[in-house]
Amino acid sequence: MYHISVVCCMNVRRMVRALTVPALGLLALLCLFSSEPVQAGKVLVVPVDGSHWLSMKILVEELSRRGHEMVVLVPETSVLIGKSGNYTTKSFRVPYTLDDLKANLDNIEKNAFEKPPKLTDIFENVGNLIQFLNMQVKACEGLLYDESLMKSLSETGFDVVLTDPFLPCGTIIADSFLIPSVYFLRLIPCLLDEAATQCPSPPSFVPRFFTGFSDKMTFHQRVENTLMTVFEAFLCRKLFAGTDELASRYLQKDTTYKELLSHGAVWLFRYDFTFEFPKPQMPNMVQIGGINCAKKGPLTKELEEFVNGSGEHGFVVFTLGSMVSQLPEAKAREFFEAFRQIPQRVLWRYTGPVPENAPKNVKLMKWLPQNDLLGHPKVKAFITHGGSHGIYEGICNGVPMVMLPLFGDQGDNVQRLVSRGVAETLSIYDLTSEKLLVALRKVINDKSYKEKMTELSAIHRDRPIEPLDLAVFWTEFVMRHKGAAHLRPAAHELNWIQYHSLDVIGFLILILVTVIFVTVKSCMFCFRKCFKKTQKKKKE
Amino acid sequence: MYHISVVCCMNVRRMVRALTVPALGLLALLCLFSSEPVQAGKVLVVPVDGSHWLSMKILVEELSRRGHEMVVLVPETSVLIGKSGNYTTKSFRVPYTLDDLKANLDNIEKNAFEKPPKLTDIFENVGNLIQFLNMQVKACEGLLYDESLMKSLSETGFDVVLTDPFLPCGTIIADSFLIPSVYFLRLIPCLLDEAATQCPSPPSFVPRFFTGFSDKMTFHQRVENTLMTVFEAFLCRKLFAGTDELASRYLQKDTTYKELLSHGAVWLFRYDFTFEFPKPQMPNMVQIGGINCAKKGPLTKELEEFVNGSGEHGFVVFTLGSMVSQLPEAKAREFFEAFRQIPQRVLWRYTGPVPENAPKNVKLMKWLPQNDLLGHPKVKAFITHGGSHGIYEGICNGVPMVMLPLFGDQGDNVQRLVSRGVAETLSIYDLTSEKLLVALRKVINDKSYKEKMTELSAIHRDRPIEPLDLAVFWTEFVMRHKGAAHLRPAAHELNWIQYHSLDVIGFLILILVTVIFVTVKSCMFCFRKCFKKTQKKKKE
């Protein structure tokens, strides 16, 4: 199979200025046939269910369209990973039911809606996360020890494993099959991604997750951030203890998840610096933020009529992500009450009970074409929980936001937009219709929100290459070159003490102290000698 | 003026697979007219003379072709910066002659050819560098205080300054005119670029210049590398003391060159990781290694005949860079003697005296079309001094090298290729025809050199976007958005102690010590109390 290489396209661009228009067809044709053939590869996809899958699916389908054979491993309790003509799925058994998974999620939701946020939440969050990860490690164990499935996968001869390292199974399989891996992620809990890439992350200007800090911190915040960095190292051990044990047992070598991750060829990170604060990067880290909002479709006739009927006031889009479509009744009432008092129409993904006197400017739906709606010229604001997918749909389309973080990285995501002056944030726990109204009116009527968001959106979209093309390029690169060894820093061969040059500093201090000691002793010795002589002379 | 945006091209690429061939012309046409108009901008170019200019010129000419108004500031003693129809030049007076410049260079050359390399060379090199930089600061002073020229430049209303920060004048002008700057460089002496970008550069795996170390160091080397890091900080102050003084005086504020550099919007670095060792990067660092070897032309008839006449043995290209075309006679004789004994033909850029019995397989020329020759299928090896331009021409074309570093960063450049097994290095000081023969025969006859170089070349050329297009994109980006503020890390607002969290660590140690002290004192107090009571009781 052939495709026009990017390089070729770049040349079209340069040559096009020198050519007459009718020559363009011929040029494109030449380009098509002179470009390098791309070998169709075999890609094993080990995804994470839920919203994580929604953006990875875009890359999986594009790779499939480019002729690669895609095999997706799907747990039998999958929520969002469906079958498709574009890829083969292989299902595997898991030792829990869909209800177990939902119970875990409900627990987290309940916390967000019913309890005031407090410092000790982090321990509860960590507890929930450990419970969730242990569940997933059990599932992974089932998969790894399913001999017939693993044998058939092994015999397929995959070129690369494409996985979201939020969960460890893909990485263990890649090591077991001796094939390179490409990671597709927002982050790994406890920022294990930074440790595994050996990426410097100074706590003085890189805020830790769960702190809610920006990159500009006071002394007090820097102290907290440094303590959080120490805590993270401890957290990583706790979170992935089960993974480390499984990996060592299955691969029959003494290893850790971090060690396995460090062999990842390329890391595709779903962020860029219109969202994330500027921070150091390593050569094999590639930014593909906004990969999820490239494709826009037309609205249905019904939706088009509803949003166009909003007149000059426009409309507001409200969703709390792919996993949360209900709210406690009292909480929902506050939203209905606020929406009643604004001139905008509201499109709300909501499946809970509806009060009798629900305002008429509100349209409730089971599912919203979020990105298509946010791309509509009449949209005025986006009420969101602050998941990274929704945030990028807001940035791509330049829509100011009111943000209601629920759990996980959402509190920190929100901070990134609030600090840029393009969003307001509210706590869902003590949300009232008045507070919501104030925030909504602010982002809609105060023009600075829209102006700053339009500028941020322009910067985000002004890039030399589209995120999807970049993700495809690097996945194919890893297939072509069987990894990306030239991007692997020598830091991976150092331990923590060596990496930070603590042994060298210790050695230099030792030498310095020895030199000072010997010098002082020598001086004292000479001084004493001279002093004694003087005393003797005096006595004489 | 319009151009097909890269984004548009990427879409062509994706859509092309779904379209019939005749539709391609129409598609390219649509793409042309739907793309965003690019505003023609005004670019002030402040280059560094010599080989530095040769690669910057490629970007200057491309920007000119894209409709931007390019004004290049040229010192009146310029060696290589000539006039061109593609850009306007503005000449300024300098307080030294071309002979002064050449004397400085001859001095450095003499050292390389006539003295054995030793540890103290670094002090001599630094001395030469300080002398050269002071000369350039004087030239810059002349330019800055040339009121009529500066007034006319200021009134032109430039959008961006494109400069090589190896010399400081462009940066000072950008600050004075309040316009953003784009830097185009390999490095700044004493690695001021790393300090100015706030890029972490752990001495445990990032080798310092002038050490000749690879990224994998022994303990002893890491100690030296750490000491060199400390020395560099001292060196930077010495090297740029004159610049700091001039900048503060001219800009009428207390500033340093490092401080001014830190406001650079985007840094275009002439390296990538097929040449440089993998190391941390900052968001506004862009790699454009290989920008100088994209364009290849056909050979003249005379050259084509000479290289084709080399038969199965092929030919060798030998140059020592744009500034060195002569050799001490005795040294030249060793080369002639070695070349006499190989079956390859040799193309040598040499203008010195020729011995009577010069071998017939050697063709001497005043100037060589180096990149065109290295791209010829019959080329077998490249003898080079290890300048970054020549190195990239070698990598682009996949030609193994014999390297003879002369001065500056060349010793370190060479180390990078030798450690990859694609080159051999020799010292020019004690070079003999025998040593040269051994090295040449090794890189030509031992297939591993060619194989590794072919692989390195393939990796280098396998990139999502061409370096020249990337350089153009980021220069235009800075013009469009008046800088790249979203890429500026908050680290710039921290001092050295804050950046390394030394204040936080000190504070935490203080708390820890206090807690331990209070605990121990309390315990001792209680213990004493209890002990006394027991003693009293015993006495009673």
Q: Which of B461, B477, B511 is a domain's end point?
A: B461
B129 plus B206 within the same structural domain: yes
pLDDT at A38: 54
Record the tokens describing residue B179, joined without a space.
């316009």
pLDDT at A367: 86
Q: How far is A264 from chain B (nearest CA, A)?
A: 15
Has residue A36 got a pLDDT over 70? no
Of A279-293, A349-363, B149-163, the poorest mean pLDDT is in A349-363
Summarize the confidence of residues B308-336 as an average pLDDT: 87
Q: How far is A227 from chain B (nearest CA, A)?
A: 9
Q: Which residues of B are less than 8 Å from A39 in CB distance?
A: none
Q: What digits encode the pLDDT tens for the residues B158-170? A: 999 999 999 999 9
What whole-number percentage of chain A has pLDDT above 70? 91
A206 plus A349 within the same structural domain: no
Q: Which of A401, A428, A461 is a domain's end point?
A: A461
Determine contact: A216 vs chain B, CB below 8 A.
Answer: yes
Q: Are B28 and A32 an interchain contact pair (Cβ–Cβ within 8 Å)?
A: no
Nearest to A273 among B4, B29, B487 (CB): B487
A376 plus A242 within the same structural domain: no
A184 plus A324 within the same structural domain: no
Cα–Cα nearest to A142, from A81, A76, A70, A241: A76
Q: What confidence tier does B35 reach under pLDDT thresholds 50, 70, 90? A: very low
Cα–Cα nearest to B196, from B259, B252, B110: B259
Nearest to B489 among A278, A459, A488 (CB): A278
Cα–Cα nearest to A71, from A188, A135, A186, A155: A155
Residue A249 lies in a domain: yes
Determine contact: B230 vs chain A, CB below 8 A.
Answer: no
A415 with A212: CB under 8 angstroms? yes
Has residue A350 got a pLDDT over 70? yes
A279 plus A315 within the same structural domain: no
Q: Are B12 and A3 an interchain contact pair (Cβ–Cβ within 8 Å)?
A: no
Residue A428 lies in a domain: yes
Cα–Cα distances in Å, from B428 out to A212, A524, A532, B322? 58, 51, 60, 17
- Residues 6 or more apart whose CB falls under 8 angstroms from that of A23 comprise none
Cα–Cα distances in Å, from A164 out to A135, B40, B408, B426? 17, 43, 45, 48
B357 plus B311 within the same structural domain: yes
Q: Are B489 and A205 an interchain contact pair (Cβ–Cβ within 8 Å)?
A: yes
Number of H helices, E strands in chain B: 21, 13
Q: What digits encode the pLDDT tens for the residues A291-326? A: 998 777 889 999 999 999 988 999 999 998 777 777
For the domain that residue A53 is a member of, what is the CATH number? 3.40.50.2000
Summarize the confidence of residues A283-290 as an average pLDDT: 97
Which of A100-104, B189-193, B228-232, B468-472 holds the top average pLDDT? B468-472
Which residues lie across from B268 on neighbouring strands?
B184, B286
Q: What is the ipTM of this complex?
A: 0.90
Determine contact: B38 vs chain A, CB below 8 A.
Answer: no
Say how many C-beta atoms besides its own lie within 10 A of residue A13's C-beta: 22
Cα–Cα distances in Å, from B326 out to A81, B78, B331, B354? 69, 20, 10, 11
Summarize the confidence of residues B73-99 as an average pLDDT: 88
A156 plus A213 within the same structural domain: yes
Number of H helices, E strands in chain A: 21, 13
Residue A200 lies in a domain: yes
Q: What is the 3-state secondary structure (H, E, C) of B149-168?
A: HHHHHHHHCCCEEEECCCCC
Q: What confidence tier does A30 reach under pLDDT thresholds 50, 70, 90? A: very low
Which residues lie across from A49 on neighbouring strands?
none
For residues B229 and B461, give the distance between their C-alpha atoms in angstroms, rounded to a whole number.
Answer: 33
DSSP letters, A94-124, are: -SS-HHHHHHHHHHHHHHHHHS---TTHHHH
A55 plus A113 within the same structural domain: yes
B137 with B246: CB under 8 angstroms? yes
Summarize the confidence of residues B207-215 as an average pLDDT: 90
Task: Please tell me the number of Cα atoms within 13 Å of A165 on its side-chain side.
Answer: 33
Cα–Cα distances in Å, from A302 out to A308, A467, B157, B227? 10, 32, 52, 71
B452 plus B525 within the same structural domain: no
A7 plus A47 within the same structural domain: no
Chain A 47-66, residues with CB within 8 Å of chain B CB atoms: 62, 65-66
pLDDT at B126: 82
Residue A136 lies in a domain: yes
Chain A 447-466, residues with CB within 8 Å of chain B CB atoms: 456, 458-459, 462-466
E strand or H helix that includes residue A394: helix A388-397
Determine contact: B97 vs chain A, CB below 8 A.
Answer: no
Residue A397 lies in a domain: yes
- Locate the chain A residue with the closest alpha carbon to B280: A282
Residue A188 lies in a domain: yes
Determine contact: A215 vs chain B, CB below 8 A.
Answer: yes
For residues A310 and A358, give the distance between their C-alpha atoms in angstroms, rounded to a whole number.
Answer: 17
Question: How confident is the prediction for chain B on average, in pLDDT?
Answer: 88
Q: Are A222 and B65 an interchain contact pair (Cβ–Cβ within 8 Å)?
A: no
B433 plus B474 within the same structural domain: no
Summarize the confidence of residues B221-241 as an average pLDDT: 93
For residues B410 and B425, give the distance between their C-alpha atoms in angstroms, rounded to a whole number.
Answer: 11
Q: Which residues of B are less than 8 Å from A28 in CB distance?
A: 12, 16, 24-25, 27-28
Of A306-310, B174-178, B435-439, the poorest mean pLDDT is in A306-310
pLDDT at A426: 94
Determine contact: B29 vs chain A, CB below 8 A.
Answer: yes
CB pairs under 8 A between A and B: 234
Q: What is the 3-state secondary structure (H, E, C) of B490-511?
A: HHHHCCHHHHCCHHHHHHHHHH
Q: What is the 3-state secondary structure (H, E, C) of B390-404?
A: HHHHHHHHCCCEEEC
* Range(s) of the domain holding residue A424: 301-461
Q: Domain count for chain B, please give it.
A: 4
Cα–Cα nearest to B235, from B132, B314, B126, B341: B126
Cα–Cα nearest to A423, from A399, A406, A445, A407: A399
For residues B457 and B465, give the distance between their C-alpha atoms in angstroms, rounded to a whole number.
Answer: 16
Q: What confidence tier does A26 reach under pLDDT thresholds 50, 70, 90? A: very low
Question: How confident is the prediction for chain A on average, in pLDDT?
Answer: 88
A100 plus A239 within the same structural domain: yes
Cα–Cα nearest to B42, from B155, B151, B157, B154: B157
Q: Are A498 and B204 an interchain contact pair (Cβ–Cβ within 8 Å)?
A: yes
For residues A121 and A127, give the distance between their C-alpha atoms in angstroms, rounded to a whole number.
Answer: 10
Q: Are A204 and B458 an interchain contact pair (Cβ–Cβ within 8 Å)?
A: no
Residue A108 lies in a domain: yes
How wide is the angle at C-alpha B388 spanned by C-alphas B200 and A11, nearest 5°?
95
Q: Are A12 and B4 an interchain contact pair (Cβ–Cβ within 8 Å)?
A: yes
Chain B 287-346, residues with CB within 8 Å of chain A CB atoms: none
Q: Are B219 and A503 an interchain contact pair (Cβ–Cβ within 8 Å)?
A: yes
Q: What confidence tier does B59 reach under pLDDT thresholds 50, 70, 90? A: very high
pLDDT at A29: 41
Residue A20 lies in a domain: yes
Chain B 352-391, residues with CB within 8 Å of chain A CB atoms: none
Q: Which residues of B are less than 8 Å from A222 in CB distance?
A: 498, 501, 503-504
